[in-house]
């Protein structure tokens, strides 16, 4: 059985992951409407990944005998001022999620809950990748500037991303 502190933090993380999915859906919509279908695809796949994260944490809560608590999910912004501001927001958001995940790891350590610590470490490592990817795309956008040919090339590159659920092999049914 999970301690209340971990149940609360993990429940909040489920909600944070679902907000992340909403945010990336909104960004994907913006990119699609702006004619950047590759960027839209990358952001859409990111939203799917965030939903999978939330569901995986939810399942962990159930597996540990906890009752997840749900709160309202904030409405993400619907308008953006270009691809660079979108990916600046992506990077800032991923850094915020890293703080949330790190906090859960700290709570698990403090509670001496080794199973939860082991569980959350997958997310700690995932956040390193999330931030690095966001930084890479943002750097490319900054480097490209207004060069439409290079922007088209990056858009085409991002169109190749596909969603692969990292938890499929380990997912239990609810």
Share the mean pLDDT of the chain: 95
CATH 1.20.1730.10 at 4-158, yes or no? no
pTM for the model: 0.93
Burial 135-156 (b: 16+ CB within 10 A, else e): eebbebbeebeeeeeebeebbe
| Contact in structure between 36 and 99 (CB atoms under 8 Å) | no
CA distance 20 to 32: 18
Degrees (nearest 5) of the Cα angle 138, 140, 147?
120
**pLDDT tens digits, 113-170:** 999 999 999 999 999 999 999 999 999 999 999 999 999 999 999 999 999 999 986 5
pLDDT of residue 168: 80
The percent helix, strand, coil of the chain (3-state, each to 5) is: 75, 0, 25
Residue 174 scores a pLDDT above 50: no
Q: Where are the domains of the chain?
A: 4-158
| Contact in structure between 80 and 27 (CB atoms under 8 Å) | yes
């Amino acid at each position: 059985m999970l301690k209340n502190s971990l149940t609360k933090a993990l429940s909040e993380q489920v909600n944070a992951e679902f907000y992340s999915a909403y945010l990336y859906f909104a960004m994907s919509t913006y990119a699609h409407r702006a004619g950047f279908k590759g960027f839209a695809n990358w952001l859409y796949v990111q939203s799917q990944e965030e939903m999978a994260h939330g569901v995986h944490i939810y399942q962990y809560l159930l597996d540990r005998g906890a009752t997840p608590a749900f709160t309202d999910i904030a409405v993400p912004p619907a308008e953006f001022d270009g691809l660079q501001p979108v990916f600046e927001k992506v990077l800032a958001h991923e850094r915020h999620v890293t703080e949330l995940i790190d906090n859960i790891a700290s709570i698990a350590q403090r509670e001496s809950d080794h199973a939860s610590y082991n569980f959350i470490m997958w997310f700690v490592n995932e956040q390193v990748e999330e931030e690095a990817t966001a930084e890479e795309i943002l750097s490319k956008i900054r480097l490209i500037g207004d060069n439409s040919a290079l922007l088209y090339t990056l858009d085409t590159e991002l169109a190749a991303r596909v969603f692969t659920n990292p938890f499929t092999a380990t997912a239990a049914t609810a």
